[in-house]
A and B are shown apart, each in its own frame.
Chain A
Amino acid sequence: MQNSDQELMGRLRSEQECHAAFQELVTRYQERLYWHIRKIVLSHDDTDDVLQNTFLKVWRNMGQFREESSLFTWLYRIATNEAITFINARKRHTLVSMDEVSDYLKNRLESDDYYEGSEIQKKLQQAILTLPDKQRLVFNMRYFDEMPYQQMSEILDTSVGALKASYHHAARKVEDFISNNE
Chain B
Amino acid sequence: MYKMNEMNFSEEIPSGEELREIPGAGKQLPFKVPRGYFEDFPARLNALIEQENTPVREKKMRLADYLKPVIGLAASFAAIFMIVYWPAKLITHEQTASFTPPAEEQRIINLVEHVDDHTFLTLLEGESKTDTTDYEMLETYLAANYSDIDLYLEINQE
CA of A30 to CA of B33 in the docked complex: distance in angstroms?
A: 13
B141 within 8 A of A: no
Q: Are B9 and A161 in contact (CB under 8 A)?
A: yes
**Inter-chain contact B8/A161, CB cutoff 8 Å:** yes
Q: Say which one of B41-49, B60-68, B146-154 lies at the interface with A.
A: B41-49
Closest B residue to A177 by beta carbon equals B22
Question: Does B22 lie within 8 Å of A164, measured CB to CB?
Answer: no
Cβ-neighbour of B48 out of A23, A56, A115 (below 8 A) = A56
In the assembled complex, how far is the CB of residue A33 from the closest CB belonging to chain B, in whole angstroms? 10
B7 pairs with A162, CB closer than 8 A:
yes
Chain B positions 34 through 77: 1 when the CB is less than 8 Å from some CB of chain A, otherwise 0:
10011001101110110010000000000000000000000000
> Which of B23-31, B88-96, B116-124 faces chain A?
B23-31
Q: How many residues of B contact A (CB 8 A)?
A: 37
- Cβ of A178 within 8 Å of any chain B Cβ, yes or no, is yes
**Given known A26-B42, A30-B42, A116-B31, contact A165–B7 (CB-CB < 8 A):** yes
Q: Which residues of A contact B44 (CB under 8 A)?
A: 52
CB B10 to nearest CB in A, in angstroms, measures 4
Task: Check B2–A84 contact: CB distance below 8 A.
Answer: yes
Q: Please, how many angstroms separate the alpha-carbon atoms of A35 and B41 in the complex?
A: 14
Task: Flag the segment in A4-12, A64-72, A92-100, A122-130 that touches B.
Answer: A122-130
Contact of B29 among A35, A59, A122, A134 (CB under 8 A): A35
**Least Cβ distance of A63 to chain B in Å?**
15
Chain B residue at smallest Cβ distance from A133: B2
A38 interface residue, CB < 8 Å from B? yes
Contacts of A142 in B (CB 8 A): 18-19
A114-B32 in contact (CB<8A): yes
Nearest Cβ distance between residue A138 and chain B, in whole angstroms?
A: 8
Using CB atoms and an 8 Å cutoff, list the residues of chain B in contact with chain A.
1-10, 12-13, 17-19, 22, 24-34, 37-38, 41-42, 44-46, 48-49, 52
> A interface vs B, CB < 8 Å?
22-23, 26-27, 30-31, 34-35, 38-39, 42, 44, 48, 51-52, 55-56, 59, 77, 80-81, 84, 112, 114-118, 120-125, 133-134, 137, 142-144, 146, 156-168, 171, 174-175, 178
Known: A48-B37, A115-B30, A122-B30. 18 other contacts (CB 8 A): A30-B38, A38-B29, A42-B31, A52-B45, A55-B45, A80-B1, A81-B1, A116-B30, A118-B30, A120-B22, A121-B26, A125-B30, A157-B2, A159-B4, A162-B6, A165-B7, A165-B12, A174-B22
